[in-house]
Structure formats: structure tokens, C-alpha cells
């Protein structure tokens, strides 16, 4: 059958329009579906983020409640900077005046812990230890590099005539004792610190300080569970036991030395008060101890 050319072209055109329209509708339907999926995914992400932040907030709140024995209603915390494993924020307790303090927290093995809280200073080295990002380190301090004061001070001589020993001690120290044959306390004052350095020598007239004859100092002095064994040393050429107390929240760091001379146990304690430490100074003090009078 013969179809006029104009009818043929009209039919082809109509088919083309139908195909185009169908494809456009299908594309629009796909795009609509993709948009719905994307919106749903975005909602899920936002919901997860809100849930994770709420869990994080609750974890930090619990830490303050437990640490300071407060009720949640008395603790107000805010986040000022955060990442997956680090937090910096503000904390204020009910009834407090002023802006409150700051806190720094880190998450390790899914558990959050407070690294610092309050209004005081905090060490940059502490934050580096826990991998805090730079933006959370504002206000941290870098302690000045400490050099030994051993050559910056004068030294004085001390002699104990009754026990027959002598030593040199920093001239910035006061010698304090109610009975020099029991205990001598060298309380020093470096740059108006008022407490450092500090040396204590004890040789009481008691059973513990008069060991059994022929017993060694290692056998006589038992290590306290909270102390570590220190570096080997001899004082006045005698066998010496050295224990180390590490700094913690309750006490300063300290070194304990024990040795026996003529049936008398001697104990020397060097206290690193307020975080100060000067090994050269301590070594000079210990090496000056001798039984030569």
C-alpha cells in the first residue's frame, strides 16, 4: 500500500516524540528516585551524627559527675572544638560565678577520659602525647629548657661530728633540725620557690636504723610496692640501695637512698618538688657525702 510522504514523515515524527517523552519521563523518574535516596541517606547521616554527639556528650558528662561527685543538673558542659577522638570544651558547675573552666578529653579504645580540666595551665607536651590537633592546643605552654643550677650557686660544708660524716650542700638551703643525730632537713629556696631543692638525711636511733650485724643493706631494706628500683650508685663508697618515687597526683617525685655504716642505717631523700629536677645538682650533693672526720 502506498503511504504519502507527508503521512510517513508525520508518523515518524510522532514516534520520535513518543520515544523522547518516554525517555524523559524515565530519566525524571530515575532522578527523582536518586534524589529521594540521597535525601534519605543524608537524613541517616545526620541522624547518626546527632546520636554520636549525644553519646559523646553523655560520656563527658558522666566523667565530670563521677570525678566531682556532682549531679548532672549541676554540670554544664559545652564543646568548642572536636574530632572523632579529641574534645576541647568548657565546663561550669552550678553555683559558680564567672566563665568556668576548660576541659580536654581523649577517646582511647572507645573510652573517653579527661586529660585536663580547670583554669590552670596545661602542657603542650601532654597534648602532643595524646595526638591533639593544633586547633585544640591554644593556650598550652612549653616549659623553658631547664639547665642545671649546680654552677650558679655557692656551696657550703656541713659536718656531723658525732656520726663522723661531712657533705656539701647548696648555699640557698637552710639546715633545719631538732636533733642533728636523728634527722637533718636541707630546705632550699631557688628563685623564690621556697621548697626546692630539698634534701633529707635520716639516721634515727631506732631498731630499723640499727640493722642486724653483718646484714647487707639489700637484705635489710625492703622495697615499698609503690617505689621503683633506681639506678645503681655507691655513696661514700658503700653499697647503696636506690628507690624512685614517680610523681603522681598525691606526691612529688623523690629518690630514696639507703646505706649502712658501722651498724647505722642512713637514709637520704631527695625531693623533686613542684616538678623541678636537676640530676647534676643531686649528684654533686650525693658525691660529697663522706665519712672522713
Q: Could you tell me if 163 and 245 lie in one domain?
A: yes
Q: Could you tell me if 120 and 208 lie in one domain?
A: no
Model pLDDT for residues 139-190, shown as the tens digit of each residue: 998 876 668 999 999 999 999 999 999 999 999 999 999 999 999 999 998 8
Q: Is residue 135 classed as helix, strand or coil in its secondary structure?
A: helix
Model pLDDT for residues 190-206, shown as the tens digit of each residue: 876 668 899 999 999 99
Q: Which pLDDT value is given to residue 41? A: 59
Q: Is residue 208 classed as helix, strand or coil in its secondary structure?
A: coil
Count of the separate structural domains present in the chain: 2
Q: Is the pLDDT of residue 99 over 90?
A: no
Per the domain annotation, does 239 fall within a domain?
yes
Q: Are 116 and 122 in contact (CB under 8 A)?
A: yes
Q: Could you tell me if 121 and 177 lie in one domain?
A: no
Q: Of 109, 136, 163, which residue is a domain's last?
A: 136
* Cα–Cα distance, 265 to 240 (Å, whole number): 10
Here the cell at position 80 is 568548642
* pTM over 0.75, yes/no: no
Q: Could you tell me if 204 and 168 lie in one domain?
A: yes
Q: Of 74, 104, 136, which residue is a domain's last?
A: 136
Amino acid at each position: 500500500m502506498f503511504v504519502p510522504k507527508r503521512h510517513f514523515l508525520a508518523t515518524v515524527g510522532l514516534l520520535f516524540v513518543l520515544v523522547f517523552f518516554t525517555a524523559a519521563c524515565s530519566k525524571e523518574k530515575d532522578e527523582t528516585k536518586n534524589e529521594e535516596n540521597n535525601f534519605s541517606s543524608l537524613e541517616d547521616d545526620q541522624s547518626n551524627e546527632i546520636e554520636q554527639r549525644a553519646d559523646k556528650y553523655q560520656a563527658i558528662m558522666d566523667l565530670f559527675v563521677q570525678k566531682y561527685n556532682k549531679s548532672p543538673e549541676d554540670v554544664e558542659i559545652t564543646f568548642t572544638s572536636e574530632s572523632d577522638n579529641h574534645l576541647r570544651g568548657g565546663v561550669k558547675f552550678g553555683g559558680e560565678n564567672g566563665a568556668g573552666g576548660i576541659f580536654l578529653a581523649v577517646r582511647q579504645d572507645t573510652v573517653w577520659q579527661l586529660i585536663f580540666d580547670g583554669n590552670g595551665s596545661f602542657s603542650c607536651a601532654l597534648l602532643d602525647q595524646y595526638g591533639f590537633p593544633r586547633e585544640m592546643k591554644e593556650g598550652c605552654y612549653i616549659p623553658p629548657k631547664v639547665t642545671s643550677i649546680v654552677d650558679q650557686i655557692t656551696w657550703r660544708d656541713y659536718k656531723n661530728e658525732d656520726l663522723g660524716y661531712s657533705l656539701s650542700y647548696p648555699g640557698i638551703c637552710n639546715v633545719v633540725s631538732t636533733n642533728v643525730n636523728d634527722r637533718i632537713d636541707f630546705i632550699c629556696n631557688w628563685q623564690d620557690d621556697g621548697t626546692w631543692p630539698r634534701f633529707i638525711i635520716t639516721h634515727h636511733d631506732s631498731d630499723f636504723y640499727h640493722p642486724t650485724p653483718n646484714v647487707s643493706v639489700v637484705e635489710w631494706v625492703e622495697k615499698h610496692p609503690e617505689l621503683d628500683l633506681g639506678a645503681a650508685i655507691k655513696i661514700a663508697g658503700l653499697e647503696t640501695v636506690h628507690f624512685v618515687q614517680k610523681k603522681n597526683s598525691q606526691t612529688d617525685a623523690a629518690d630514696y637512698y639507703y646505706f649502712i655504716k658501722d651498724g647505722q642505717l642512713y637514709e637520704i631523700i631527695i625531693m623533686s618538688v613542684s616538678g623541678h629536677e636537676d640530676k647534676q645538682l643531686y649528684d654533686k650533693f650525693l658525691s660529697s657525702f663522706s665519712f672522713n672526720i
